[in-house]
Amino acid sequence: MAGKIVSIHSFRGGTGKSNVTANLAAQVAMTGMRVGVVDTDIQSPGIHVLFGLDEQKMGKTLNDYLHGKAAIREVGFSVGENTGEGEGRAQLAGRNIFLFPSSIRGAEISQILQEGIDFNRLNEGLQTAVAEFDLDYLFIDTHPGLNEETLLSIATSDVLLIILRPDNQDLQGTAVTVDVARSLDVPNLFLLVNKALPKYNNFEVIKSDIGAKFDAAVTSVLPLSFDMAENASNDLFSLRFPDHEWSKALKSIVPFILNAK
Amino acid sequence: MSGDVLQKIRETNFFKELSPDASAAVAAKAAMRKFAPGEFMMRKGDPADSCFVILEGHLKVVTNDAKGDEIIINKVGPGESIGELALVDERPRSAGVIALEDVEALELTKDAFFELLDQRVDVSLGVMRGFSHRLRFSTTYIEKVIDWSQKTAEGDYSFLEQTQPIKNTAGSDDDKAAQLLSAFYSMVRKVKAREEDLKQTVERLSFEIDQERRKREFEEITGTEFYNKLKQQAKELRQKRMGQS
């Protein structure tokens, strides 16, 4: 079976996309799968922090690959062999999980924004990453909105997980994204509601109503959590606090990914 | 004094702990009184020199609002006592009591009551037991209200399902604790209902998708040459990968 490309997307920023991507990839890796995580949010990379990677530790990046200065093999950072500090992350020791980070150097970011991304090369890189690292799943943390690089990620995905908050603006944007994904024939389209207010939102109602509205499976409804906001910036929350409500809800997404056709 | 009268005495919260013999002693010291409809049993501010056990008919307990208009604060009937607390604490009448129909009641004057307490230990004990029973009862209810208040503040309404609302039998003082609990219970039920309404409003609000805008934005994105090329490429890519697997 060829590895699957799983794009995690949200129409607007601030939905907790990077956190969901990192935690979900980690949970899938914990099941024994070989997992890759690509940060294609080249304008504002962030997911590396959750995997304990800083500027000093960061070697070759996706930017180097896109500029022909490195092979994709050199970009992949083995999280399982370098878990670093972080109680949650430590559990990934020995697991097969590889991060393909974007450069966090200002000059390199502005360079790529000026020159634009060579889509064919990015696409080739993703396919090569899957093949060379023998990945079962390659998670793509996309840039919010529907710009060209995001459309490319969606177009090449086997699974698209769209994150939204239970509010009007997110729903409106998600509606367009769902339409676009359908038009691009993405085989598996899933929704995930994040930052729901436990006091005012009935999670089961949200799940069934949003699912019915878009005719798509809502994988889970994650609560807005201050514990999460306080503790999530530099570790993998769902590994560190496995019994937390947020973590449990996140883990319930895993079967959707593993069972996707 | 008939058994029926003794029965009524022992129905009151004040004398409920009395033995039949002690009740008979109370009845023997009391005088039968009749009140016509509209007649005052007691007036607000009067010195409290007796208490009553109602045998027949109903009365209203009234006070006056700021404008001087009468407000009914309670209704009392057979088997209830009235004015007994004032016998002990010697405060003037806190409210007026007026017969709503023909009323028969036993009146026990303060002097007769104290004589009885002096002569009969069993009556004294019975009255004390009544007071302590009442205090214990009220404390239990207050503790419940405190517990429920805390739960309500935290948004935990589970006690509404776990507890039966107390039947609001307006009347004696003992029931006032029950009335408080009942009022509290109904307040929380209403708060919960309002919260659920709000919740539904929030949910309903979040379901307003502007379909025109949705269509327009979709067309803007998919109407470009880039998009058509991308769609074609994606299709080819998938076919290629399908072939590989």
| Inter-chain CB proximity A171 and B235 less than 8 Å | no
- Residue-wise pLDDT for A90-130, tens only, equals 999 999 999 999 988 888 888 888 887 887 888 889 999 99
B12 and B72 part of one domain: yes
Residue B57 lies in a domain: yes
| Inter-chain CB proximity B214 and A176 less than 8 Å | yes
pLDDT more than 70, % of chain B: 87
Average pLDDT, chain A: 89
Task: Please tell me which of A42-46, A115-119, A132-136 the model is most confident about, judged by mean pLDDT.
Answer: A132-136
pLDDT of residue B57: 94
Closest approach of A62 to chain B, Cα-based (Å): 21
Residue A45: Cβ-neighbour burial (10 angstroms; 0-12, 13-18, 19+): buried
- CA–CA distance, B204 with B207 (Å, rounded to integer): 5
Give the chain B residue nearest A130 (alpha carbons): B241
Give the chain B residue nearest A154 (alpha carbons): B234
Task: Please tell me which of A22-36, B138-152, B163-177, B208-222 the model is most confident about, judged by mean pLDDT.
Answer: A22-36
pLDDT of residue A33: 96
User: At residue B85, what are phi and psi to the nearest 5 degrees?
Assistant: -65, -40
B45 and B77 part of one domain: yes
Q: In terms of pLDDT, which residue wins out, A195 or B163?
A: A195
In chain A, domain spans: 4-258
Q: Which residues of A touch B210 (CB under 8 A)?
A: 172
Do residues A35 and A29 make contact, with C-beta atoms less than 8 angstroms apart? yes
pLDDT of residue B80: 87
Do residues A196 and A223 make contact, with C-beta atoms less than 8 angstroms apart? yes
For residue A173, what are the CA distances in angstroms to A9, A20, A107, A159, A214? Answer: 11, 19, 31, 19, 12
- Residue-wise pLDDT for B78-88, tens only, equals 888 888 888 88
B38 and B112 part of one domain: yes
Task: Please tell me which of A205-209, B96-100, B177-181 the model is most confident about, judged by mean pLDDT.
Answer: B96-100
pLDDT more than 70, % of chain A: 98
Residue B129 lies in a domain: no
Average pLDDT, chain B: 83
**Region label for A139, one of left (φ > 0), alpha (ψ between -120 and 50) or beta (otherwise):** beta
What part of B 211-230 touches A (C-beta under 8 Å)?
A: 213-214, 217-218, 221-222, 226-227, 230
Domain of B97, in residue numbers: 3-119
pLDDT of residue A28: 97
Q: Which residues of A touch B231 (CB under 8 A)?
A: 155, 183-184
Q: In terms of pLDDT, which residue wins out, B168 or A17?
A: A17
Band of residue B171 on the pLDDT scale cut at 50, 70, 90: very low
| Inter-chain CB proximity A123 and B237 less than 8 Å | yes
Last-in-domain residue among B66, B88, B119: B119
Query: Of the candidates B51, B56, B55, which has an alpha carbon nearest to the alpha carbon of residue B101?
Result: B56
The amino acid occupying position B151 is K
The reply to whether CATH 3.40.50.300 applies to domain A4-258 is: yes
Average pLDDT over residues B25-31: 90
Residue B40 lies in a domain: yes
B18 and B98 part of one domain: yes
pLDDT of residue A139: 96
Band of residue A255 on the pLDDT scale cut at 50, 70, 90: very high
B30 and B102 part of one domain: yes
The strand pairing partners of A4, in sequence order, are: A137
Q: Is the pLDDT of residue A5 over 90?
A: yes
Band of residue B200 on the pLDDT scale cut at 50, 70, 90: low
If one counts the domains in chain B, the total is: 3
B62 and B161 part of one domain: no
- CA–CA distance, B107 with B99 (Å, rounded to integer): 15
Which range, of A42-51, B26-35, B93-102, averages the lowest pLDDT? A42-51
Band of residue A2 on the pLDDT scale cut at 50, 70, 90: confident
Do residues A20 and A163 make contact, with C-beta atoms less than 8 angstroms apart? yes
User: What would the DSSP string read from start to end of B188-221?
Assistant: HHHHHHHHHHHHHHHHHHTT---HHHHHHHHHHH
HSE (side-chain half, CA atoms, 13 Å) at A218? 22
pLDDT of residue A31: 96
Band of residue B50 on the pLDDT scale cut at 50, 70, 90: very high
B104 and B25 part of one domain: yes
pLDDT of residue B69: 80
Shortest CB distance from A200 goes to which of B202, B207, B222? B202
pLDDT of residue A23: 95
B34 and B87 part of one domain: yes
Contacts of A25 (CB under 8 A, 6+ apart): A35, A36, A37, A97, A137, A139
- Contact with chain A for residue B204, Cβ under 8 A: no
ipTM confidence score: 0.84
B144 and B105 part of one domain: no
| Inter-chain CB proximity B206 and A171 less than 8 Å | yes
Residue B157 lies in a domain: yes
Residue B127 lies in a domain: no
- Residue-wise pLDDT for B141-167, tens only, equals 788 888 888 888 888 888 887 765 555
Confidence (pTM): 0.61
Band of residue B169 on the pLDDT scale cut at 50, 70, 90: very low
Band of residue B168 on the pLDDT scale cut at 50, 70, 90: very low
User: At residue A142, what are phi and psi to the nearest 5 degrees?
Assistant: -90, 165
pLDDT of residue B52: 93
User: What would the DSSP string read from start to end of A108-164?
Assistant: HHHHHHHH---HHHHHHHHHHHHHHTT-SEEEEEPPSS--HHHHHHHHH-SEEEEEE
B192 and B89 part of one domain: no
DSSP state, residue A19: H
B187 and B86 part of one domain: no
Shortest CB distance from A206 goes to which of B203, B217, B230? B203
B224 and B188 part of one domain: no
Residue B199 lies in a domain: yes
